[in-house]
């Protein structure tokens, strides 16, 4: 009985992912679990869907959106180049709770970066999120599935309560770990800078990049 039930859950989740990928391809907006919180996603390549993300969240368009990617190859597509410092951080911390900022390539729409010349990205350490990105074959938006200014959701129920009637699909992956958000490292300038202290401490980062700068220690 337990084995049969487990198999049923796996099949059901696979069907949900296939349906969600189809919705993303058609320009829909979905909510999905990640290794931190529930995310609100749309295909990076679909501008109307990205505009809906802003509407659903009530988020000002002057705020850039982060991207979730599946692998190194997708990173190469969305940035101009990957410097040695980024390669070291990617190798050490991704998939995981590290967001990296680099100069964007022309493939990234301006609406994603709020007209800026850099893009923030990470590889999530979550099988559902990775399956969505791999199935779509493109990066997806990785913003939190909540109304702007409200708590980030850790359960599907919390997503439903905040934005459930505004999205096309919600994948219930159980409770997300939550906790500390990802650390953001800006590698777009001459010197690496920690823009947000998160799950990965400055001390750990300095073991890889000794010259990294930060106003926050930990």
DSSP 104: B
2-178 carries CATH number 3.90.870.10: yes
Q: Alpha-carbon distance 196 to 200, whole Å?
A: 10
- pLDDT of res. 216: 63
- pLDDT of res. 215: 64
pTM greater than 0.95 (yes/no) = no
- pLDDT of res. 217: 53
Distances, alpha carbon 202 to alpha carbons 67, 160, 192, 206, in Å = 22, 35, 11, 6
Strands of the chain, DSSP E: 30-33, 38-41, 67-68, 98-103, 118-122, 140-141, 143-144, 169-170, 183-186, 193-196
- pLDDT of res. 9: 39
Locate the domains of the chain by residue range.
2-178
- pLDDT of res. 194: 97
Are 125 and 35 in contact, with CB atoms under 8 Å apart? yes
- pLDDT of res. 26: 96
pLDDT along the chain (218 residues), means of 10: 37 85 96 94 97 96 96 98 97 96 98 97 96 97 94 94 95 86 93 92 95 74
């Amino acid at each position: 009985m337990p084995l049969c039930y487990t198999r049923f859950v796996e099949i059901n989740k696979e069907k949900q992912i296939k349906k969600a990928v189809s919705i993303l391809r058609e320009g829909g907006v979905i909510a999905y679990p990640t290794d931190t919180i529930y995310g609100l996603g749309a295909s990076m390549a679909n501008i109307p869907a990205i505009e809906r993300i802003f509407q659903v969240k009530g988020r000002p368009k002057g705020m850039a959106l982060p991207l979730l990617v599946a692998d190194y190859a997708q990173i190469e597509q969305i940035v101009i180049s990957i410097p040695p410092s980024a390669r070291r951080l990617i190798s050490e911390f991704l998939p995981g709770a590290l967001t990296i900022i680099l100069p964007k390539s022309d493939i990234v729409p301006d609406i994603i970066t709020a007209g800026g010349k850099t893009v923030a990205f990470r590889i999530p350490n979550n099988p559902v999120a990775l399956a969505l990105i791999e199935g779509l074959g493109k990066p997806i938006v990785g913003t939190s599935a909540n109304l702007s200014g409200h708590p980030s959701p850790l359960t599907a129920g919390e997503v439903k309560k905040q934005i459930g009637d505004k999205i096309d699909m919600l994948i219930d992956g159980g409770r997300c770990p939550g906790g500390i958000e990802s650390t953001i490292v800006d590698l777009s300038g001459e010197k690496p800078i920690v823009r947000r202290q998160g799950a990965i401490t400055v001390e750990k980062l300095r073991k890889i990049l000794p010259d990294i700068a930060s106003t926050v220690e930990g």
